[in-house]
Structure 1
Amino acid sequence: MAEQSLYVDGPAVPALRVETASGRRLLLRQGADPVLFAVQRATHRGLYYARTGRYVSPLPPLRATLARSFRASPEWPARWAHHFTAELRTSPNGPFHQGSWQLLRSLPNWFADVNWPKLLSHDPDRGHLTWFGYGDPVEDARDLLPLRRLSAPNASRVKAYRRQYREGVLPPVLLWWVSGLNSPVVLDGHDRLTAALAEGGRPELLVLTRAMLDGWAGQAVRQRIEAYEQHVRAEEVRGGPLASTRISRASRRLADDLTTLDDAAGLTRAWPLPGGPEAWQRAVYDYAPGWEPGPKD
Structure 2
Amino acid sequence: MTEYWWKDLRDRDDSWQGLELRVRAGDGQAMEMQSGHNGRMALQVNGETLFWATMLKDHAGVWLVFNGEHPAQALLLPAVTSAEVESAKRAGESNWQSHWCRYFARQLMEAPTPLLPPGRWLLRPMEQVKPTAPYIVNKPLPFEQWRFQTPASSAQISVNWALYSEDFPDLQNPEKVTFVDWWWGGHLLLARYPVEANSGRVKWWRKKCRENALPPVLVWFIAGLASFVILDGHDRLQAAILEGTQPQFLVLSELSEQVYTPNEETRERVLHSLAIQQEKCKKTGANIDAMNQSLLNLYDTRYLYAQTHSRAVLGDGKGWERAVTAYLQRHQLNDYLPKILAREE
**Does TM, scored on the shorter chain, surpass 0.5?**
yes
TM-score range, shorter chain: 0.7 to 0.9
Which has the greater radius of gyration? Answer: 2
> Structure 2 CA distance, aligned partners of 1:236 and 1:56?
59
Task: Tell me which of 311, 319, 331 is aligned to 1:271.
Answer: 311
Deviates more, 1:272-281 or 1:243-252: 243-252
Q: Which residue of 2 aligns with 1:128?
A: 179
For residues 48-83 of structure 1, what are the alpha-carbon distances to aligned partners after superposition, in whole Å with 9 as ceiling and x for unaligned? 111112233421111123212212312222221111
Structure richer in strand, relative to its length: 2
How many percent identity over aligned positions? 25
Q: Which residue of 2 aligns with 1:163?
A: 207
Task: Tell me which of 180, 184, 197 is aligned to 2:228.
Answer: 184
> Structure 2 CA distance, aligned partners of 1:11 and 1:281?
31
Q: Which residue of 2 aligns with 1:207?
A: 251
Q: Which residue of 2 aligns with 1:136?
A: none
Aligned to 2:91, the other structure's residue is in SS state coil
Q: Which residue of 2 aligns with 1:196?
A: 240
Letter in 1 for 2:307: L
> Structure 2 CA distance, aligned partners of 1:154 and 1:160?
10
Q: How many residues align?
A: 281
Question: How has the CA–CA distance of structure 1 residues 210 and 120 changed in structure 2, closer, same or farther, with 3 Å as cutoff?
Answer: closer
Task: Tell me which of 59, 66, 72 is aligned to 1:44.
Answer: 59
Greater length-normalized contact order (CA 8 Å, ≥ 6 residues apart): 1
Alpha-carbon deviation of 1:188?
A: 1.2
Q: Which residue of 1 aligns with 2:118?
A: 98
Within the alignment, does 1:19 sit opposite 2:39 as a pair?
A: no
C-alpha RMSD of matched pairs (Å): 3.5
Question: How has the CA–CA distance of structure 1 residues 23 and 237 changed in structure 2, closer, same or farther, with 3 Å as cutoff?
Answer: same
Structure richer in helix, relative to its length: 1
Alpha-carbon deviation of 1:28?
A: 0.2
Q: Which residue of 1 aligns with 2:162?
A: 111
Q: Which residue of 1 aligns with 2:324?
A: 284
> Structure 2 CA distance, aligned partners of 1:281 and 1:165?
43
> Structure 1 CA distance, aligned partners of 2:74 and 2:299?
36
TM-score, with structure 1 as normaliser: 0.79
Task: Tell me which of 22, 25, 48 is aligned to 1:10.
Answer: 25
Alpha-carbon deviation of 1:200?
A: 2.4
For residues 72-109 of structure 1, what are the alpha-carbon distances to aligned partners after superposition, in whole Å with 9 as ceiling and x for unaligned? 31222222111111121122455311112221113455
Letter in 2 for 1:172: P
Query: Is the contact made by 2:18 and 2:124 (CA closer than 8 Å) also made in structure 1?
Result: yes
> Structure 1 CA distance, aligned partners of 2:268 and 2:64?
45
Query: Is the contact made by 2:190 and 2:229 (CA closer than 8 Å) also made in structure 1?
Result: yes
> Structure 1 CA distance, aligned partners of 2:219 and 2:264?
31
Letter in 2 for 1:191: D
